[in-house]
Structures are given as structure tokens and as C-alpha cells.
Amino acid sequence: MIQEFLKVPASTLWLAASQTIYMVCFSLLAGTVLGMALALVMVLTRPYGLLANRPIFFVVSSAVNIVRSVPFIILLVAIMPFTKFVVGTRIGTTAALVPLIVNIAPYLARLFENSILEVSEGIIEAAKSMGATTWQTIWHFLLPEARASLVLSVTTGTIGLLGSTAMAGVIGAGGVGNLAINYGYERLNMPLMAVTVLILVVAVQLIQTFGNIAAQKLRHLS
């Protein structure tokens, strides 16, 4: 049934979906870890931060800006040698993970940085007055207080990633977005195009709704 309507085998569709899910989940996981590390470095070393350090802050913050200013489609191609070095190949779904992570980590880093900076100065003051170490301040004060906002940041990042995976088709990564471009756009398969777009729209809605609900729960206000 699917096959007749969309003019592609169902297995193609499933493969595309699983490729997208694989790319989003893996790069989200790695990007979150990396992004959080970068965010913490920036929060701590920024002027008046707990470990204020101008050179480190300048370097990390600039690096984040530079990577963020490169459009993903260019990044994808530009870091191919690096990709090859890390995963041993320049093309395919796994090869796409490298640029995806390089792209999303600085983006998440900025979002996380903002979330953590939203925590009031008074909370940090309280932590200091209790004699908390820097690590304790992060773990017991900053992250718990920022967690609702952090969840929303991850949500935004996930949706951004979903968009990026479509472009990863350029290096043969497959995925739902790529399906829409290859079959839908280039072969003028309108039904397929419509269905893939619909799938993406629904996915974005679900992710956002889930993120909002989780954040609301974490705020303990309801």
C-alpha cells in the first residue's frame, strides 16, 4: 500500500527513518556532553565567573563562535579530512556523525551557557557562603536550578539537529530529509515529498511538546 502510493519500497522509508534517528540520537548525546563541557568552561571562566580566566574564556568563546558561523553544508565538506581521521571514512551515515557533532556541540554550548547564566547570582552567593567547592556549586546548585531551562535547550538543539541531518545526505548519510530531496524533489515524487515533510513536522511537534512538558514538571510550579 505504502509502496504504491509513495512509489518507493517501505523498507527504504524505514531505513531512512532509522538513519535519521541514529544520527539525531548519537550526535545529540555526544553533542550534549561536549556542549555542556564547553558551556561550563565558559560560565566558570567568564569575567566575574567562579574561575574567571580571560584567556581561556576568550579562546573557548571564540572557537564556539567560529564553528557556529560556518554554515552546516560547508562544514560538512570542509572537515572531511578530520572526519576521515576520526571514523576512517568520508561518507555514509556514521561519517555524518562527526560534522553533526561538531555543528551541534557549540550550538548547545551557547544554549546551555545561557540557561546556566539565568540562575540567579544569589544562588551562587549562597553556595559560596556554605563553603561549596566549584564542582559542588555546579553539581548541587547551578545544574539543578538550570535543569528546566537546560531541557528546553536540548529540545531546541534536537530540532536543529533534525534539520541538519537532511543536509547530511550530501555525504551519503541517508535519512528522512535526504529521502525527500532525492526522491521527492529531484524525481518530482510529490506524495513522497508531502509524507516526509509531514513526518518531520510531526516529529518536531512531538519533540517540542515533550520538552515543554518535561521542563514544566521540573519547575515544580504546577
Partner 1 sequence: MEEIIRFENVDKIFQNRKMSVTACKNIDLTVNKGDIFGVLGYSGAGKSTLIRMINALEKPTAGKVVVRGRPISELTGRELRLARKDIAMIFQQFNLLNSRTVFQNAAMPLVLNHVPKAEIKRRVDEILDFVELTDKAEAYSAKLSGGQMQRVGIARALTTNPSILLCDEPTSALDPKTQDSILGLLQKINRELAVTVVIITHQVGIVQKICNKAAVMENGRVVETGEVRAIFAKPRHPITKVFVDAVIDTSIPRLVLAEAQAARGAQRIVSVRVLGGNVCDTFVPDLAARFPVEVKTLSLSVNEIQEDVLSVFNLQLIGPEEETQKVLSYLGTRYDYEEIGADWSL
CA 151 to chain centre: 12
Which residue of 25, 82, 125, 190 would you call a contact of partner 1, by CB under 8 A?
125
Binding pattern for the stretch 145-184 against partner 1, x by CB under 8 A and - elsewhere: x-xx------------------------------------
Which residue of 132, 170, 197, 204 would you call a contact of partner 1, by CB under 8 A?
132
Binding pattern for the stretch 66-105 against partner 1, x by CB under 8 A and - elsewhere: ----------------------------------------
Please state the closest distance from residue 142 (CB atom) to partner 1, in A.
10
Closer CB to partner 1, 88 or 122, in the complex: 122
Q: What is the DSSP string of the chain?
A: -HHHHHSS-HHHHHHHHHHHHHHHHHHHHHHHHHHHHHHHHHHHHSTTSTT--HHHHHHHHHHHHHHHHS-HHHHHHHTHHHHHHHHS-SSSHHHHHHHHHHHHHHHHHHHHHHHHHTS-HHHHHHHHHTT--HHHIIIIIIHHHHHHHHHHHHHHHHHHHHHHHHHGGGGT---HHHHIIIIIITTT-HHHHHHHHHHHHHHHHHHHHHHHHHHHHHHT--
Q: Is 133 a binder of partner 1 (CB under 8 A)?
A: yes
Q: Is 209 a binder of partner 1 (CB under 8 A)?
A: no
Residue type at position 207 = I
Q: Is 48 a binder of partner 1 (CB under 8 A)?
A: no
Which residue of 7, 54, 128, 217 would you call a contact of partner 1, by CB under 8 A?
128
Closer CB to partner 1, 67 or 132, in the complex: 132
Residues that bind partner 1 (CB under 8 A): 120, 122-123, 125-126, 128-133, 136, 140-141, 144-145, 147-148, 218-221
